[in-house]
Amino acid sequence: MAGHKETFITKYLFSYDHKMISRQFLLTGTVMAFIGMIMSLLFRLQLAFPGESFGVLNFFLGDKWAPGGVLDPNMYLALVTIHGTIMVFFLLTAGLSGTFANLLIPLQIGARDMASGMINMLSYWFFFLSSVVMIASLYVESGPAAAGWTVYPPLSALPQAMPGSGAGMTLWLVSMSFFIVSSLLGGLNYIVTVINLRTKGMKMTRLPLSIWALFVTAILGVLSFPVLFAAALLLIFDRTFGTSFYLSDIYIAGEALDHTGGSPLLFQHLFWFLGHPEVYIILLPALGITSEVISTNARKPIFGYRAMVGSILAIGFLSFIVWGHHMFITGMNPFVGAVFTFTTLLIAIPSAVKAFNYLSTLWKGSIRYTPAMMFAIAMVSTFITGGVTGIILADAALDVNLHDTYFVVAHFHIVMGLSAVMAMFAGVYHWFPKMWGRMLNKKLGYVHFWITFICAYGVFFPQHFQGLAGVPRRYYANTEFPIFDGLSDISLMVTIFAMIGGLAQLIFAFNLIYSMFKGPKAPQNPWSANTLEWTTPVEHIHGNWPGDLPVVHRWAYDFSKPSKDGTDYRIPGQDFVPQTVPLEEGEIDGEGH
């Protein structure tokens, strides 16, 4: 495209440029996140004040779904479902990978753009289309999909079972099909780019951990999303063409249906074959971003680079053989349950390595508390807090009484939701200068951080206790069970924290939009980092580097590297050595001398 005059349409809409596409992903993901968040606040109102009337519910949902301001149980389930779908897929898969893979892969490996700008553009527009269809599904007469974000059939297959399984579910499936296309197009592009377009000297062993994480993430996505596509397609067949892949022996609405021989469990196997790698599709980019931010702001190399790469690979591999832990109580053979318990608990080992390596990166560092760094530290905390409860849930025996309770809600919101969101915030605060050439307001960042971090734990930590008391998730109200009455204070507490935390995100939105236009101009390398993206000009140009591509001579983590005699830094007076600086004679890459 170089040399062509750009119009508004080619520059801002159908752009081939990875930096623009990255911004498009971030903004679309953020808008979706706000929609998902508002939904969660609406159903939290019902959970804290069951059956009470709220004008705001009526305002958002209308007379049909909130008559007199009281939330309808079907709409409650729909809100839960769409909240989950949006957060898992639209924010934390497309929003996170889409933003940072697009931004960082070409810039950090020294490429002029993605391998195929065209496919990259299509990836965004399929995502956009999928978002539009998902939002449109909120407006159908019978309501949006409401069978939970895992859309287990038969509930999701039969419109007789709930109103949400009518047109809303059809749109959900259409939207997810577009989403999968987007994800595959993006993922293939990321893989090809990382393998083929690394600049001279950028060996795989010199890749920043963010790229390693995004690379393995893309591989996971390419291997697992097609399986979800198959699952969705078969579900479409069952719903539309009368096939019986997932349906058997069903009597509903006064009618024995003509479906025999199918198995609802087949869907669960297919779904979780994507669903579990999906957790790491969300988490690995978060870990990658955290690695960069922590190392840069602790002014220290990431501790145990090779172990970090190894654990990313190990997590990636193991994520494919653990899906059965979502199905311990489906009637699966208990022996299989034992096998999945074993593989699942193995994941704790590479995860522990990562957590310890983050801690030891901080050790003897010289920490600069930028908002990005604070979010990265929060991520380490949530990764540990949420990770340890995974050890309990991985145990088939213990899962029996905790499955589908609030304990699970607490676990995955903390380890996957919060960790990824914290890392995403860290990434946005860290790379905003690269994305928009301006700085985010730091003080607003601090205010945003503290309210968000406190409320995040305030919302999800108490839910462990509800889970241990046996409160099931996806209950419209707990009032039908007197044994849960003593826990109603927790519901109230959680909702209050959620409201405050939700409001705090307005600070972030404001900061984002304000700084995009009015923020102070960013210098070329604001955080004194080593990676290649900070050698490009602040103003975005096609091809990223005005002259030749940079040549890489060292790994990305030479922070505070001492000079040979140990009296000063390697570059006198400067505590970092960019990757483009050649090795001195006798200097070993990635080592102390």
Partner 1 sequence: MTALLLSLVIILGIVAIVQMLRVFDLSNSLKGEDEIQVNNQETNNIRWAFVVFFLGFFAFFIYLVVAFGDQLLPVSASEHGVEYDWLMNFNMIIITIVFVVTHIILMVFVVKYAKTVSPKATFVTHNNRLELIWTTTPAIVLTIIIIYGISTWNSMTMDKPKDSINIELYARQFDWTARYAGEDNTLGKANYRMISATNALGIINKNTIDERLNQYDEKLQELEESRAKVYPGGASDEDILEQIKLVKKNRAAVVQYKEQSKTENFDVANDDIITKVEFHIPVNKSVNFSIRSQDVIHSAFMPHFRAQMNAVPGVITSLYFTPIVTTKEMKEITGNPDFEYLLLCNKICGAAHYNMQMNIIVETEEEYNKWLAEQPRFNVAQAQ
Residue 452 is a binding residue for partner 1 (CB under 8 A): no
131 binds partner 1 (CB under 8 A): no
Taking CA atoms, 407 is separated from 44, 247, 422, in Å, by 17, 30, 21
DSSP assignment, residue 568? Answer: S
Query: Got the DSSP string for 244-268?
Result: -SS--S-EETTEE-S--S--HHHHH
Given candidates 356, 437, 496, 540, which one binds partner 1 under the rule CB under 8 A? 356
Give the binding-site size for partner 1 (rule: CB under 8 A). 141
**Alpha-carbon distance 430 to 439, whole Å?**
9
Q: Binders of partner 1 among 522-551, rule CB under 8 A? A: 523, 526-527
Can residue 30 be called a binding residue for partner 1 (CB under 8 A)?
A: no
- Regarding 161 and contact with partner 1 (CB under 8 A), the answer is yes
Contacts with partner 1 in 463-492 (CB under 8 A)? 465, 468-470, 472, 474-478, 480-483, 486-487, 489-490
| Residue of 11, 64, 368, 564 interacting with partner 1 (CB under 8 A) | 368
Q: Contact at 8 Å (CB) between 243 and 237?
A: yes
CA distance 588 to 593: 6
For 566, counting Cβ atoms within 10 Å of its Cβ (0-12 exposed, 13-18 middle, 19+ buried), the class is exposed
CB 257 within 8 A of CB 250: yes
- Is the Cβ of residue 42 or residue 274 nearer to partner 1 in the bound state? 42
Residue 366 binds to partner 1 (criterion: CB under 8 A): yes
Residue 50: cis peptide before it, omega within 30 degrees of 0: no
Site residues for partner 1, 373-402, by CB under 8 A, read: 374, 377, 380-381, 384-385, 388-389, 391-392, 395-398, 400-401
> Are the CB atoms for 464 and 479 separated by under 8 Å?
no
Mark the segment that binds partner 1 (CB under 8 A) among 104-112, 209-217, 280-288, 501-509. Answer: 501-509
CB neighbour burial string for 271-301, b if at least 16 within 10 angstroms, e if fewer: bbbbbbbbbbbbbbbbbbbbbbbbbbbbebb
The DSSP result for 227-247, as a single string, is HHHHHHHHHHHHHHT---SS-
Nearer to partner 1, 118 or 583 (CB): 583
CA distances from 189 to 110, 128, 364 (A): 15, 18, 39
Among 63, 258, 565, 585, binds partner 1 (CB under 8 A): 258
Based on CB atoms, which residue is closest to partner 1, 12 or 481?
Answer: 481
Residue with tokens 């911004």, as numbered in its chain:
23
Pair 101, 108: CB distance under 8 Å: no
* Smallest gap from residue 222 Cβ to partner 1 (A): 29
Q: Which is nearer to partner 1, 458 or 543 (CB)?
A: 458
Among 263, 313, 321, 581, binds partner 1 (CB under 8 A): 263
Q: Which is nearer to partner 1, 117 or 417 (CB)?
A: 417
HSE toward the beta carbon, residue 565, CA cutoff 13 A: 3
182 vs 511 by CB, closer to partner 1: 511
Is the CB of 16 or the CB of 152 nearer to partner 1? 152
Q: Which is nearer to partner 1, 196 or 562 (CB)?
A: 562
Of 115 and 498, CB closest to partner 1: 498
The least CB distance from residue 97 to partner 1, in Å, is: 27
How many CA within 13 A on the CB side of residue 385?
Answer: 21
Among 175, 217, 296, 341, binds partner 1 (CB under 8 A): 341
Distances in Å between the alpha carbon of 169 and those of 60, 138, 151, 157?
21, 10, 9, 8
Residues 132-151, mask of contacts with partner 1 (x by CB under 8 A): ---------------xx---
Among 447, 496, 538, 571, binds partner 1 (CB under 8 A): 447
Asked if 256 interacts with partner 1 (CB under 8 A), we say yes
- Does residue 440 touch partner 1 according to CB under 8 A? yes
> Could you say whether residue 506 binds partner 1 (CB under 8 A)?
yes
> What binding mask, one character per residue, do residues 567-586 give for partner 1 by CB under 8 A, x or -?
--------x-----------
Q: Is 337 in the site for partner 1 (CB under 8 A)?
A: yes
Of 153-161, 166-174, 285-293, 532-540, the window that binds partner 1 (rule: CB under 8 A) is: 153-161
Taking the complex as a whole, the smallest distance from the CB of residue 162 to partner 1 amounts, in Å, to 5
C-alpha distance from residue 459 to each of 41, 372, 410, 508, 556 (Å): 11, 22, 9, 19, 37
| Residue whose structure tokens are 């600069």 | 368
Give phi and psi for 80, each to the nearest 5: -60, -45
Binding segment toward partner 1, per CB under 8 A, in 194-202, 232-240, 318-326, 513-521: 513-521
Compute φ and ψ for 562, nearest 5 degrees: -75, 155
Place of tokens 């749109």: 171
Interacting positions 172-191 with partner 1 (CB under 8 A): none
Q: Residue from 140, 230, 307, 581 that binds partner 1 (CB under 8 A)? A: 307
The least CB distance from residue 203 to partner 1, in Å, is 16
Q: According to CB under 8 A, which one of 15, 24, 74, 175 is a site residue for partner 1?
A: 74
